């Protein structure tokens, strides 16, 4: 079953704000193993941060392509005597861990693969199959919803950084996966849930965001670049609620001397409380204090000069009827007002926006000559800006400069057609946000234009050391719906070309993949002639070429049917 990508986009508007995926563990430590039951297991941790109980009846999990029911673990699990089993409820403030269905048997047979699940956690598992239907890929996100296997009634929560995906898959590609380290949210109370590595590798059943029962989240914004005025928005929530009143205090700490900036009281029963304070940036630490607990607020992002807004993608050559456009991304932790900013080159500049136009941290803004035409071309596109006057981009060679309100240099994008082979009407994507934008290495031809969203190559072309993963092993293209396709996932440096071939045990090349390099190749077990490839070992050979140098990666697998 496939969920259309647009359905997942809608999730941003309808999902419950009370249930969060507070940990996702996709790449367990240990050797790649084909043995059923495995020595390592994936899991997903949930927290009910609201005031209502979650009933798991009709609760399903999906990676966007396959879905599976969530059911209680019905008997105590070896090594986890204090975890809660056989319950269909997740009460406010409780944490649950969703496990693979074979976890209980695996820990009984092999206690060394036991996860360090916190006492009191509620244990659930997938009803039929492993998380993500055969394991979560290293760039895969998940969504929990109420409904049936084929119908979504309401979305409970999801972990994803790229909600619109044409192939239906839910992706969570940033940060790049590390073996044995799970991802935990570092920010959940603002619009975007941001994930990062778990400092303690894996902590199933323990929500890192909870301190003394509270979740605190904040955003900083420079009000005026010239006056060092900073607005601090703090959001507070107490999972499980209650009606107690709490005193809070925001103060600056300079060499041990504390000065109160703001203080007040909030009632924890109100789901999320928002506190806004304003202060002048200086050389001090900013500390938020509540419920006998202190949170140090990172001010390092506030003083960033220029450069926080980058040109992330641009499309000087477009299809007929599609206007020119370029995309900006805010790489800082503060909201930026683009009012008065300019774009263009040394001889011609244009105002980006004459009025306030805010770009949230991590947010994208698409700047185009004709917003209406662009939205018609890319349905679902939001955050589009049509400047009063357009600066036309050259199709062959140009420099696009972005300058701030007071004229400070912010970013530059240089390109010329000679850098690219077969540049027709593809957009140019920045290979990495930290590349200078001046050289050929900074830009890739996109696989598909992604205005308003992360680049199609952002996550697989951000490495200097190419790598390739294949799976499953064994791979069984017998049409039974399980392990029918071999996934070959690549990470390659920018400006690389990839030649991918599959060899039989006999040493013959049985399948080749040509055309522009893509992040994931899927092999159905057939040769280039459409015949079934022989069972037994096979080899996947990727030849990655870049700037005259080539690297060969060879992986072996087993085909069985």
Partner 1 sequence: MDDPFPSGYLMGNLGTIIWDDGMGGRSPWFPAAALHSGSGLVISVGAVSYYDRMDNLEDRLIYRAVSGAGYAGKIIKIKAAVSQFNAFGIFYSQTGFLSVGYRGFSLEATGYRFFVRGKEETARTLGELGAAIWVPFKYAAVMFQAEHIVLKESRSGSDTPFLLRGSIHTKRNLFGAQGVTVVVIPSRAQPVRFTLGEEYRLFGWLGIHAAVSANPVMIGIGVVAEWSRAGAALSFVSHPELGWSKGFSAEYRPRL
Binding site for partner 1 (CB under 8 A): 32, 34-36, 468, 470, 473-474, 501, 503-509, 527-529, 531-532, 534-537, 539, 541, 552-556, 558, 560-561
The answer to whether the beta carbons of residues 236 and 289 sit under 8 Å apart is: no
- At CB < 8 A and 24+ separation, what contacts does 131-135 make? 131/42, 131/43, 131/44, 131/61, 131/98, 131/100, 132/26, 132/42, 132/63, 132/66, 133/63, 133/65, 133/66, 133/68, 134/472, 134/482, 134/483, 135/42, 135/471, 135/472
Give the per-residue SS3 of 160-196.
CCECCCCCCCCECCCCCCECCECEEEEECCCCCCEEE
CB closer to partner 1, 380 vs 536 = 536
What are the residues whose beta carbons fall under 8 Å from the beta carbon of 124, sequence distance 6 or more?
A: 56, 70, 71, 72, 73, 96, 97, 98, 99
Q: Is 191 left (phi over 0), alpha (psi -120 to 50) or beta?
A: alpha
Helix (H) or strand (E) holding 105: helix 103-109
Q: Which residue bears the tokens 């969203």?
A: 453
CB closer to partner 1, 36 vs 481 = 36
Q: How far apart are CA 312 and CA 296, in angstroms?
A: 31
In the complex, the smallest distance separating the C-beta of residue 543 from partner 1, rounded to whole angstroms, is 9
CB closer to partner 1, 356 vs 506 = 506
In the complex, the smallest distance separating the C-beta of residue 173 from partner 1, rounded to whole angstroms, is 22
Give me the phi and psi of 464, to 5 degrees please: -90, -25
In the complex, the smallest distance separating the C-beta of residue 32 from partner 1, rounded to whole angstroms, is 6
Q: How far is CA 361 from the centre of its chain?
A: 14
CB closer to partner 1, 395 vs 527 = 527
In the complex, the smallest distance separating the C-beta of residue 356 from partner 1, rounded to whole angstroms, is 53
Burial of 101 (0-12, 13-18, 19+ CB in 10 A): middle
CB closer to partner 1, 123 vs 559 = 559
In the complex, the smallest distance separating the C-beta of residue 497 from partner 1, rounded to whole angstroms, is 17
Give me the phi and psi of 111, to 5 degrees please: -60, -20
In the complex, the smallest distance separating the C-beta of residue 384 from partner 1, rounded to whole angstroms, is 44
The answer to whether the beta carbons of residues 102 and 37 sit under 8 Å apart is: yes
CB closer to partner 1, 385 vs 541 = 541
In the complex, the smallest distance separating the C-beta of residue 528 from partner 1, rounded to whole angstroms, is 7
CB closer to partner 1, 358 vs 560 = 560
CB closer to partner 1, 105 vs 294 = 105
CB closer to partner 1, 229 vs 541 = 541
Q: How far apart are CA 486 and CA 403, in angstroms?
A: 47
In the complex, the smallest distance separating the C-beta of residue 489 from partner 1, rounded to whole angstroms, is 12
In the complex, the smallest distance separating the C-beta of residue 492 from partner 1, rounded to whole angstroms, is 14
């Amino acid at each position: 079953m496939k969920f259309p990508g647009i359905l997942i986009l809608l999730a941003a508007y309808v999902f419950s704000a009370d249930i969060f995926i507070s940990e996702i563990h996709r790449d367990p430590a240990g050797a790649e193993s084909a043995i059923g039951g495995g020595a390592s297991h994936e899991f997903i941790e949930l927290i009910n941060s609201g005031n209502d109980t979650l009933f798991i009846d009709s609760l399903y999990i999906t990676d966007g392509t396959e879905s599976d029911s969530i059911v209680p673990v019905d008997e105590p699990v070896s090594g986890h005597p204090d975890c809660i089993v056989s319950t269909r409820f997740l009460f406010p403030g409780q944490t649950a861990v969703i496990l693979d269905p074979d976890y209980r048997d695996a820990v009984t047979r092999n206690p060394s693969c036991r996860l360090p699940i916190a006492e009191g956690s509620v244990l659930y598992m997938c009803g039929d199959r492993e998380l993500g239907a055969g394991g979560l890929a290293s760039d895969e996100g998940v969504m929990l919803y109420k409904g049936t296997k084929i119908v979504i009634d309401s979305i409970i929560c999801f972990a994803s950084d790229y909600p619109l995906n044409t192939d239906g898959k839910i992706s969570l590609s940033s940060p790049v996966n590390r073996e044995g380290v799970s991802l935990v949210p570092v920010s959940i109370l603002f619009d975007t849930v941001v994930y990062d590595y778990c400092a303690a590798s894996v902590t199933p059943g323990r929500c890192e965001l909870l301190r003394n029962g509270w979740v605190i989240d904040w955003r900083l914004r420079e009000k005026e670049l010239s006056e060092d005025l900073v607005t601090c928005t703090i959001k507070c929530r107490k999972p499980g609620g209650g009606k107690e009143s709490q005193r809070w205090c925001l103060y600056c700490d300079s060499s041990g001397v504390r000065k109160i900036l703001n203080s007040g009281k909030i009632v924890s029963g109100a789901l999320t409380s928002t506190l806004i304070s304003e202060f002048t940036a200086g050389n001090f630490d900013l500390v938020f204090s509540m419920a006998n607990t202190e949170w140090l607020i990172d001010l390092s992002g506030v003083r960033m000069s220029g450069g926080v807004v980058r040109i992330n993608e641009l499309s000087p050559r477009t299809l007929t009827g599609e206007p020119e456009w370029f995309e900006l991304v805010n790489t800082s932790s503060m909201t930026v007002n683009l009012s008065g900013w300019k774009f263009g080159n040394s001889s011609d500049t244009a105002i980006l926006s004459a009025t306030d136009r805010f770009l949230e941290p991590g947010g994208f803004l698409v700047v185009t000559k004709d917003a209406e035409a662009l939205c018609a071309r890319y349905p679902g596109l939001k955050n589009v800006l049509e400047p009063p006057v357009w600066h036309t981009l050259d199709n062959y060679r140009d420099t696009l400069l972005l300058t701030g309100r007071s004229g400070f240099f912010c970013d530059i994008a240089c390109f010329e057609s000679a850098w690219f082979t077969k540049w027709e009407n593809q957009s140019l994507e920045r290979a990495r946000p930290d590349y200078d934008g001046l050289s050929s290495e900074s830009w890739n031809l996109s696989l598909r234009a992604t205005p308003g969203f992360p680049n199609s190559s952002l996550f697989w072309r951000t490495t200097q050391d190419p790598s390739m993963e294949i799976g499953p092993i064994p791979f069984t293209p017998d049409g039974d719906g399980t392990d029918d396709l071999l996934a070959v996932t690549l990470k390659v440096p920018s400006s690389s070309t990839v030649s991918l071939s599959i060899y039989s045990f006999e040493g013959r090349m049985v399948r080749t993949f040509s055309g522009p390099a893509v992040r994931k190749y899927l092999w159905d077990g057939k040769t280039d002639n459409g015949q079934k490839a022989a069972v037994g070992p096979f080899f996947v050979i990727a030849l990655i070429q870049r700037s005259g140098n080539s690297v060969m990666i060879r992986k072996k697998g087993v085909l069985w049917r």
